Amino acid sequence: MNTAKNSMISFAKTLLFVLTTILLITCNTETIHYDWKPASFQTVKAYLLTSPELMIAAMSIGTTAGRPNDFFDKIKFEDGIELSEEQIEKIRGFFTTHEENSDYLPSDCFNPRHVIVYYNAQKEPVAVIAACFECGDLQTYPSSGKPLYHYLENFRPFFKELGMPVFNDPVEYATYLDSIRKAEKLKK
């Protein structure tokens, strides 16, 4: 009787070991890590794009093979919110964590309203992160060549902390932009 009991316990331990091993091998526990950081930069600024011209130019970020010259030619260093060293490091951390259960894919529109631009000592743009909360996508230049949409939600509270509204709906953006344009007309 003891021998049968010992055999059953031994069998149960072996079975548990085999099942645990199979579970560990088949589970995808890999955390996607993308260490995005421009090689050389002096200043980093965040922008909420309100100009239709800038928004159209920003659509090429990450989707073209080369440097997004049209966008870089139009963005103004004087505009935007300069980020602190702590905020810059926070951005780097955004690329190391994401929601493991990202069950959506971005749509094809990519109309970024929020950008973070990295400048060299001559105040020339050298890199950019562009976020489109409407379609759920994130692009960078230099491009990673990998999908980055699963990092997008890390940026939502960051832009809000900077005082920039974040909307999921283009109608909400249009309403917000109309209010800005009306306020600018009243100032004139």
**61 contacts: CB under 8 Å, gap ≥ 6:** 68, 71, 112, 115, 128, 130, 139, 140, 141
Q: What is the mean pLDDT of the chain?
A: 79
Quick: pLDDT tens for 41-93: 999 999 998 887 888 888 877 666 677 888 888 888 888 999 999 999 999 88
Q: Which of 27-41, 85-99, 100-114 has the highest mean pLDDT?
A: 85-99
Q: Is the pLDDT of residue 162 over 80?
A: yes
Q: Is the pLDDT of residue 100 over 90?
A: no
Please state the rounded mean pLDDT for residues 90-113: 71
Interior angle at CA 133, CA 130 and CA 134, nearest 5: 120
Quote the CA–CA distance of 157 and 164 in Å, as a whole number: 10
Q: Is the pLDDT of residue 29 over 50?
A: no
**46 contacts: CB under 8 Å, gap ≥ 6:** 80, 81, 83, 114, 115, 116, 117, 159, 162, 164
CB-neighbour burial class of residue 186 (10 A; exposed 0-12, middle 13-18, buried 19+) = exposed
Please state the rounded mean pLDDT for residues 163-181: 88
Looking at residue 122, the DSSP 8-state letter turns out to be T
User: What is the number of residues in the chain?
Assistant: 188
Quick: pLDDT tens for 136-157: 888 888 877 777 877 888 899 9
Supply the pTM of this predicted model. Answer: 0.75
Quote the CA–CA distance of 184 and 140 in Å, as a whole number: 31
Alpha-carbon distances of 13 from 3, 53, 67, 91, 165, rounded to whole Å: 15, 66, 58, 46, 56
